[in-house]
Amino acid sequence: MTDPRRAIPRTDAVLAEPRLAKAAESLGRELVKSLTLAAQERARAGEIGGADVVDEVLRTLPETGASLRPVLNATGVVVHTNLGRAPLSGAALDAVVAAGAATDVEFDLATGGRARRGRGALAALAAAVPRAGGVHVVNNNAAALLLAALVLAQGKEIVVSRGELVEIGDGFRIPDLLTSAGARLREVGTTNRTALRDYADAIGPDTGFVLKVHPSNYRVTGFTSEAAVAELAGLGVPLIVDIGSGLLTPHELLPAEPDAASALAAGATVVTASGDKLLGGPQAGLILGDAAVVERLRRHPAARALRVDKLTLAALEATLRGPEPPVRQALSATAGGLSARAEALSDALRADGVDARAVESAAAVGGGGAPGVELPSAAVSLPARYAEALRLGDPAVVGRIARDRCLLDLRTVRPDEDTRLLEAVRRCG
């Protein structure tokens, strides 16, 4: 009897197959070779036939040279931290691709000399918030706060309410971040109530600045009070306001969410924010405010360690100048429109014999923004077993489980992704 392992093609023969040779040009020969060896091992174990090795390699090839897999976010969480927060707009993605080549990020093509790094992105940010005398960008909002502490409060005190000493995720906490910069915290007030006089009584010769942090990932309700930005701005010391979510101007659907323009108008010295949340751009820390103070932050040695790369600058500028990003589109989607899409998708799936129903849903902003705010939405409801199959499918689809059903919330699925979502569910049937 002929040994079936003899039918397994040689490695060099597999790599010479035209489709795999082309894949090696874009993904790298070593990656394709490693997948080839894995497929051959499966064939030797009898899991696939020798003639199926090439097809197995093609099936396991990633779309790009990175291990990150594209995901359809059907969770209903608009800014989902575990899924990369804000999905970039098409304009921002195009800008990132263009910036991947040699660019004039720090070069003046007219004079042939050095130019201000990221001047286009900085100009776009300044135009978006005219009240800001100066703007700067670092790699995230935590970096923006760290830089402020290094420049304004190293060896000094930061006056902050006890109710605003938040944990920002993955075990990292605002107090630890600030003290790592050599600052001392002067906690005032109580967890639920902090008055203006609490801040005023704490200010002295050692005060570096007053810090107001928006508790964006939790809510304290009931017997509560806090000092407003306008009140704190009159205390005679710098006021740093961390708004967190990256809302640059007021949003009608999120009236309780602080924004940079309003905080500056109320007298904040500097506002810090995230670029990858409600702004809908790349991960970045935005610093806006008094021109002299922002310049001091920009010139500190640590600013070099915290700076962003050209890809982030390109994506940020395109987000600020370009069309409405996906996060804003998701927020502005109407409940009626979402329901109509859910009905259409469910009808199509039922025609294929799938137990699918269109149901009402409640989406969330996510990413530490607008805690407790529910966005009326609509979802396609499927048997719970679909959840795992969809996560492992191609494309990967992440929904959520509620009452033993898998819900695919359409507020976080773009209308132009409906066809891909439909086909993904059909493949799991």
Q: Are residues 337 and 417 in the same domain?
A: yes
Number of domains within the chain: 3
How many CB atoms lie under 10 A from the CB of residue 181?
20
Are residue 80 and residue 205 in the same domain, yes or no?
no
Q: In whole numbers, what is the pLDDT of the chain averaged over residues?
A: 93
Instruction: Report d(CA 80, CA 409) in Å as an integer.
Output: 13
State the pairing for strand pair 405-409/369-383.
Answer: antiparallel
Report if residue 392 sits inside a domain: yes
> Which tens digit of pLDDT belongs to each residue from 357-366?
999 999 999 8
Are residues 317 and 188 part of one domain?
A: yes
Using pLDDT thresholds of 50, 70 and 90, give the confidence band for residue 166.
Answer: confident
Of 288, 323, 358, the residue at which a domain comes to its end is 323
Instruction: Kindly report, residue by residue over 233-287, the tens digit of the pLDDT.
Output: 999 999 999 998 889 999 988 888 999 999 999 999 999 999 999 999 999 999 9
**Please, what is the angle between helix 29-44 and helix 18-27, to 10°?**
130
* Whether residue 303 is found in the same domain as residue 196: yes
Q: What is the pLDDT of residue 7?
A: 81
Could you tell me if residue 24 is inside a domain?
Answer: yes
- For the cut 90, the answer to whether the pLDDT of residue 35 exceeds it is yes
Is the pLDDT at 1 greater than 60? The verdict is no
CA distances from 122 to 129, 138, 269, 290, 330 (A): 11, 11, 18, 15, 26
- Of 227, 195, 234, the C-alpha closest to 212 is 227
CATH number at residue 156: 3.40.640.10
Q: Which DSSP letter does residue 324 get?
A: P
Predicted confidence (pLDDT) per residue in 51-69, tens digit = 899 999 998 888 888 778 8
For residue 11, give its domain range.
4-60
Residue that finishes a domain, picked among 272, 292, 323:
323
Q: Within this chain, do residues 282 and 314 fall inside the same structural domain, yes or no?
A: yes
pLDDT at residue 5 tops 90: no
Give mean pLDDT, residues 290-306: 97
pLDDT of residue 2: 59
Residues 228 and 280 in one domain: yes
Q: What is the pTM of this model?
A: 0.89
Structural domain contains residue 65: no
Pair 236, 251 in one domain: yes
165 and 245 assigned to the same domain: yes
Compute the distance between CA of residue 272 and CA of residue 262 in angstroms, rounded to an integer. Answer: 13
Q: CA 403, CA 252: separation in Å to the nearest integer?
A: 32
138 in a structural domain: yes
In a domain, 245, yes or no: yes
**Does one domain contain both 114 and 101?**
yes
